[in-house]
Chain A
């Protein structure tokens, strides 16, 4: 009996081995927060990339080889991001779409660089990521120094605010964005409060009360939506009515859900232009909503990042890292959000940031620099 079982087991092992070897696939990794408080962003990522890969596979794959997706969950934790990166490398991925948080992308980029694997992040906006000089690191989103500048221009030129408070979540992204914003204010507005909070904390009333004493006309927050939502909600609860402003980490329907539509009303957010107004994105939006429902803020970026990676692999003709990176640096890609060309650092050459406003629980485009 036991012998029969062992034979059976052996057969399964051999057979499954055969199937895997027989199928020639190109493995692509997606890495981001698939679980945890930012899982919504991870899901948007995965959906965008999945859509792109399915389209390629339906057309017969890249140079006749099917694409297989391998998902890595970094739980927005930098330590986890490094181990996810190592795991993806050992699993033999030829390119990575990810990570989401700058604090994860930066340490993970070292791992991919050593392994000679190109990575394209759809969302990490911290300048340091591409300033490290890794040849294979790219991003399809803008940079926080560009984003911070637009926010600072909006505050000083459009709102003409003189006194404001700046809060950040001490992460690479949050603090980085807050610092860039601060820098571009250039003394045109007085920063009466500057300080950090702990990511994952739920009580910001104590900070907000200290800020209320200083009577700023606006609160700028560098961080992600769970803290952003709670902060706006609690500010309204202690009677603060001043407008809030934040960046692309907060622009998510969950922000309104957490804060409540009433508290979120009038919050300004810097982000790229609305894909719904871009003609080239139309087909993508139709396909995406049909398959996954409502578009997330980074769905289109993830979709573009995956397409660019696969196009570069196709153009290179091989999956060897250096050849793909060369193509990524030299080619111009037609993305859903416009044409994308990378500069020598791996940043996109044109990064259009605009200011959005929260109205009746929805985000709408509000101001162009």
Chain B
């Protein structure tokens, strides 16, 4: 049973980690908690249903499920990134030199706006993900899992590794790190700050889109309010790992998933959502910088 719960925890934790990365990337660069990020994830889930619906209606899914799913992922990521990009340009960029509280309030506003926008355009009822993906159950000793779970775990680890390489090895990644360290200095060295911030939002939103899509496939049920809880949990994961730290967000997400899973099975499932917040409070009390976070003092 323990191993079984670990598998479940990793599935959920991988998704939390992907969303948490979006929080941490933006925080690292702008020191802004982007509360609208959960909504981008929710939009990703909806886009998955919409695109897959279109491909199924046009007969592509019947022709090749793999092609149809890949296109769904690509399209959702592109559209979600566009959302992230636009949100930054409209709601955060004009406030970049305002006091820190202003963009935060703007973020909350965007979050409420996006939720209501989706509710009005897509309806308030639950949307069911089309049952097109064949689910195979794999039994391994006493552990049962579905192919979808393995898929989610692999994809989230793959994306996390990819992001890590991108940040560490590419020129843009280097520029992102430079902007995170010191914006003024980075711009003096010829780095286009606006471009880097846009790239950050695009990457974060793309990861959230994948997370949303995978959750829609896994649970098969989506509504306009799922972004709220997922956003708060992912934010907790980001704080747990040390907000601003990329490996921290990954570890934080996985740890949170495991805690929830184990807590629900060994303690009580009635307080499943509470575990995340108990952890958040404990972390803030004991180690406010999180597991891998650096103290604010190091930043000018």
A residues contacting B by CB (< 8 A) are 35-37, 39-40, 170, 195-198, 200-207, 209-210, 213, 226, 229-230, 233, 237-239, 254, 257-258, 260
Contact = CB atoms under 8 A, between A and B. Distances in A.
Given A35-B125, A230-B221, A238-B4, 17 more contacts: A35-B119, A37-B126, A195-B269, A196-B270, A197-B270, A201-B272, A202-B226, A207-B264, A209-B4, A209-B5, A210-B269, A226-B126, A226-B221, A238-B137, A239-B144, A258-B128, A260-B131
A200 B126 CA distance: 11
Contact of B1 (A40, A197, A198, A213): A213
B269 A206 contact: yes
Contacts of B141: none
Given A205-B8, A206-B8, A239 B139 contact: yes
B261 interface: yes
Nearest to B119: A35
Contact of B273 (A201, A226, A238): A201
Nearest to B222: A202
Contacts of A258: 126, 128, 220-221
A37 B270 contact: no
Contacts of A205: 8
Contacts of A170: 270
B270 A195 contact: yes
Given A35-B124, A213-B1, A257-B128, A207 B137 contact: no
A204 B269 CA distance: 9
A198 B272 contact: yes
B265 interface: yes
A257 B129 CA distance: 9
Contacts of B123: 39
B62 interface: no
Contacts, number: 86
Given A35-B119, A209-B4, A238-B144, A196 B269 contact: yes
**Interchain residue pairs A-B with the least CB separation, the first 4:** A35-B124, A206-B264, A239-B144, A196-B270
Contacts of A226: 126, 221
Interface of B: 1, 4-5, 8, 12, 119, 123-126, 128, 131, 135, 137, 139, 144-146, 215, 219-221, 223, 225-226, 229, 260-261, 264-265, 268-270, 272-273
28 contacts: A35-B125, A36-B125, A39-B123, A40-B125, A197-B270, A198-B272, A198-B273, A200-B225, A202-B215, A203-B8, A204-B269, A206-B5, A206-B8, A206-B260, A206-B261, A206-B269, A207-B269, A209-B1, A209-B5, A210-B265, A210-B269, A226-B126, A237-B135, A237-B137, A237-B144, A238-B137, A254-B128, A258-B220
B7 to A, nearest CB: 9
B146 A237 contact: yes
Contact of B124 (A36, A195, A233, A239): A36
B139 A39 contact: no
A73 to B, nearest CB: 9
Contacts of A198: 269-270, 272-273
Given A230-B219, A258-B220, A209 B126 contact: no
Contacts of A239: 137, 139, 144
A213 B142 CA distance: 10
B221 A202 contact: yes
Given A206-B5, A206-B8, A237-B137, A37 B223 contact: yes
